[in-house]
Amino acid sequence: MAVASYCKKNKLVVLAIFFVGVIGGGAIFGPVVYHKSPVSIDLDSIKLSPSLNHPCGTDSKGRDVLSRILYGARISLSISLCAAMGSLLIGLFFGLISGYFGGKLDTAISVLVDITLAFPSLLLAIAITVVFPPGIYTVILALSLVGWATFARLVRGLTLSHKESLFVEASRSIGCSQWRIMLCHILPNCISTILVALSLKMGSFILAEAALSFLGLGVQPPTPTLGSMVGLNRIYIHSAPWLVVFPGLAIAVSSFAFNILGDAFRDYMDPHLET
């Protein structure tokens, strides 16, 4: 009931949930329902404008743009989700041990976090993707190594605030191991804040993946991604604008929706904020 009441007060949240549902549902079930191939070349259908047969038109090789958007959204969202989870796991590990054990270990990890955050994230991701062969796993690795420091700093701060709490002292008094205290007592109290950060990171990773694909450093053709569709078709923006507009809208709406959901979840979970 509280969630429904909050959604009634904030119509933008409902709109964001709707868009996330549409994009997620389209990415998962769209290729099953919409049977046109995203990679089949049809030289008789080059750069057709949107119509009933091709709702988003066709590209310079006669491939259906809507089909490529649906497949591309599936790949882009999968990469963003895997990268967000990867960076979260790395950040959780370093953040927990840094905040809980303190001392020289905390100093070393804090310096590593500061060094990582000092580099522009996109440039660091580009540097990593240049070193390794281009592909899905390289993009996931690059984004994970770029994004972990944010989670590590967040989890470290939360761990510092919880490790002197009474429930932690009680766990120590009954002989709980340090790892059990971190994983079973401190970590559950950080989940709500971590989920907010994860949702916001999804939005930023969607843009980062699109940027890498736009530059040709992401998933390689003919496999479609939203960013590569914009990058490869940007030369046709005047003669066939639908080739750039539709995948660009998918990127913008996806990122916007996840950011709005992250802000809404933060407001809902934080009792000190007025909703």
Q: Is residue 47 part of a domain?
A: no
Percent of the chain, pLDDT > 90? 28
Q: Is residue 274 part of a domain?
A: no
* pLDDT over threshold 60, residue 272: no
* Overall domain count for the chain: 1
Phi/psi of residue 50, each to 5°?
-55, 135
Residue-averaged pLDDT of the chain? 85
Answer yes or no: are the C-beta atoms of 155 and 92 closer than 8 Å. Answer: yes
State the pTM of this model: 0.85
Q: Is residue 4 part of a domain?
A: no
Give the domain range for residue 189.
11-38+57-269
Q: Which pLDDT value is given to residue 275?
A: 41
Q: With CA atoms as reference, report the closest residue to 92 among 148, 166, 168.
A: 148
Answer yes or no: are the C-beta atoms of 136 and 219 closer than 8 Å. Answer: yes
Q: Is residue 146 part of a domain?
A: yes
Tell me: the pLDDT tens digits for 149-163?
A: 999 999 999 898 888
Q: Is residue 251 part of a domain?
A: yes
Q: Is residue 51 part of a domain?
A: no
Tell me: the pLDDT tens digits for 127-150?
A: 998 888 888 999 999 999 999 999
Tell me: the pLDDT tens digits for 215-248?
A: 888 888 888 889 989 988 999 988 889 999 999 9
CATH code at position 123: 1.10.3720.10
